[in-house]
Structure 1
Amino acid sequence: MQLLLLPLTFLSKFFNAHAFFIASLPILWMLFKNPLDIKKIIPRRRTIVIWVIIILLQILAMLISFPYTSMSAVPIGIVQSVVLLLKQVVMIWMIYSFTKLYITNQENAVKFIRWALYGYAIYAILVIMPEVLITIGVHSLDGYINTLASVFETRWAGRTDFYQLGSYAVTQGRVNGFEGESPVFANLLGVVYLPIVIGLLIGKDKLVFKKPKIILWVMVIVSGIFLLMAKTTTGILTIALLYLAWLILADHHDRKLLFLLGLVGIAAIALAYVFVTPVHNVLTQFLFEKQGTSNRLGGTIGLIFTFLSTPFLGTGQGFAGYFITEYIPTWSTHNWEYENVYSKLGYPVLSGFFGWLAQYGLIIMVPLLFFVTKYIIDLINRRKQYIQAQSDNERFYYSMLNSSLVTFAVLIPSSFLSFDIFKWSMFLMLFFYWRVLSLSADNQTFPEHHYIFKS
């Protein structure tokens, strides 16, 4: 049951609606079998105090922002925002609890990764590949994808302009894997699944698969096609970030091969751009002459000014929309999406990093950035200890440490441009890597007191 948690997140709409119930099942099952394990998931007093302070600071920020937003066309409720904040805290605690209870040794970690890739392969065959065929004109699969999408696809509120005609892939001609839109799908592959595959290739692991090279290289190539067929700047950026991270972390022999493959790839793309019309159209529309960026650029500018107006406490969770509307440049509002969606339902946060700054302020973000920096430094130092790994056990840890660094190499730049970075699946992998960092210590007692989730 616990091995299915990450694969189930592919069913985006269904999982989001029942996430807390689904995630609670393996936790309750483990506690039913081993009641004393409850001690593992009860945070220390210090951790609880930190979270209480964060929640109180956010409520204070909401109370300060409320008089302004209550006069807006789309008023924000404090109760609703507090509930959303508490749901995020509970989500983090549940994922922390899951990894503490189940990722307790290398065998469990290997099974978790193996099933994650099994799930990805099934998802690719049943959903992504049919969507790819649809994007290249094989419309005999429209009914199949439309039926599945009606149950499992996440759909943004207010977007009746194309959802009423069918699934995103059918109406937009872009692969989205049942996520809300293509950039979210690109982030899912780039942050959750491809770092696993690349890390296993870098570390030359043989525990997850007995014959890993063929399987993993097929996954890399096919996933690259998926990212291109998403027809989004985020997908192209994700490919570039993954390649650069792989190039930096690979050993000397693999680095030369990757460099050569990179040159061949660039030459192939250049030739395809000149001679293959679909490739030319995709690169022109989503890279060289990208249109429709006014909302994202205007929203990001609005977020920056929102942060500058409330730098210390922030606006509070969910209260940034009103201030974004106040600060966005007028030139960014002359488009269908703003006039028919954002002006009626509120301006969403379209940049993850600047959205966190604007909503949580420096008082929360500075310690968080310090924590993340310290964690990445620990990952780098631990990786150095395993760089000469020889045994299969050591190679697995080395692979996962590389996977975690590849994840951050994609996650950090993407957070400036993307707005739906932190999902259940992404938090699951981040906490999984945190547990691997612990298990990879020589005595398997990594000093977890460095981290806020110590129990």
Structure 2
Amino acid sequence: MIQSHDDIQRFFDGIEIAMWILLIVCLAQLIYIKFGIGKELVNFVANLFEERGGTAISTWYAQGSYAVTTGRINGLKQETGFLAAQLLIVFIPYLLTRLKRSYSCERKKIEYKIWIPLILIIIILFQSGSTTAMLGLPIVLFLTIIIVVKSWKKVFAVVGGTILVLIISMIFSKSFSSTITRVVFDKFTFSNTSFAQRMGSAVTMMKIFVKSFGLGVGYNNGGHWSYILAPNFMRYNPEFNSYWPLSGDGFFAVLSVVTGWLAQFGIIFFGTVTYGIYR
């Protein structure tokens, strides 16, 4: 229980320690993936602390760890997407809050304790290549620019300049272009099963919401309608067929939070709660 300033400081110290432990683990995985160095260390840490899924996805760890087997960074989570969510939800807000505080005061030196982990997290998110990371990364970069560059004209200039540099780099560098295409653009096509599932879930939940506009279908009661209303681009990919039972009352993962709330609880409940929070 936090009862004093010292308790708050210890809480922040705990966040710092946890963040650096995770970053060191991720960097070790990145070094192995890029240079083939440290396989034994990566597997040793993974065997002790890595969160792993059920037997259905045991092949992800066949060579000792997720990172070694799949060639993707996962930290200590069971897969890359969960690592991205952990970084974006837990550590990025903490770092951006500290960054905003430092830039709201007169600063005489660069806050390396903020910038180093922030830059490392941005690199890890990009290298992870997960859909979650690719959706969250632009937001992180934009918020960072807003904090550092206080003038909106300068913000737009920086964002525009960055986009221009990326476009020029993609035009004149085939390797850079292929990297951006593989890590970013290929993530948002229906041939990517992960994106197809998420987009399909959002579309399905919206269809259910339209059919049950007022009160929704109730918590966790979307299985029947979800199976019927799932779009075709979602039905014919391995992730849907392998992990979601193809039955009228089967499990259907809600991968879109807002549309999931609307579908299950309807506009009356959702609207009332939203109004109560923001009034």
Q: TM-score, normalised by structure 1?
A: 0.51
In structure 2, the partner of 1:294 is 196
Matches within 5 A, 1:413-432: none
Matches within 5 A, 1:203-242: 203-204=101-102, 213-242=111-140
2:152 and 2:116 mapped to 1: Cα distance?
Answer: 17
In structure 2, the CA distance between the partners of 1:134 and 1:348, relative to structure 1 (3 Å rule), is: farther
In structure 1, the partner of 2:23 is 124
In structure 1, the partner of 2:207 is 305
Residue 111 (str. 1) matches residue 16 (str. 2): no
In structure 2, the CA distance between the partners of 1:162 and 1:154, relative to structure 1 (3 Å rule), is: closer
- The one-letter code of the counterpart of 1:120 is M
In structure 2, the partner of 1:370 is 275
Q: TM-score, normalised by structure 2?
A: 0.78
Residue 271 (str. 1) matches residue 271 (str. 2): no
In structure 2, the CA distance between the partners of 1:131 and 1:336, relative to structure 1 (3 Å rule), is: same
Matches within 5 A, 1:103-252: 104-125=3-24, 127-138=25-36, 140-150=37-47, 151-155=49-53, 158-204=56-102, 213-250=111-148, 252=150
Aligned length, in residue pairs: 268
In structure 2, the partner of 1:407 is none
In structure 2, the CA distance between the partners of 1:195 and 1:262, relative to structure 1 (3 Å rule), is: farther
What's the % identity of the aligned pairs? 22
Segments of structure 2 that go 5 or more residues without pairing to the other structure are: none
Q: Per-residue deviation at 1:314?
A: 3.1
In structure 2, the partner of 1:349 is 254
1:364 and 1:108 mapped to 2: Cα distance?
Answer: 38
Q: Per-residue deviation at 1:120?
A: 0.2
Q: Per-residue deviation at 1:225?
A: 0.6
1:254 and 1:112 mapped to 2: Cα distance?
Answer: 34
Q: Per-residue deviation at 1:168?
A: 2.6
Contact 1:313/1:363 (8 A) holds in 2: yes
Segments of structure 1 that go 5 or more residues without pairing to the other structure are: 1-100, 375-455
Q: Secondary structure at the match of 2:77?
A: coil
Q: Per-residue deviation at 1:157?
A: 6.5
Query: Cα deviation per residue 1:322-361 (whole Å; 9 max; x = unaligned)?
Result: 3321210233211222222223673311212222222333
Q: Per-residue deviation at 1:148?
A: 3.5
Give structure 1 regions of 4+ aligned residues with deviation exceeding 6 angstroms. none
Q: Secondary structure at the match of 1:204?
A: helix
Structure 1 vs Structure 2 CA RMSD: 3.5
In structure 2, the partner of 1:66 is none
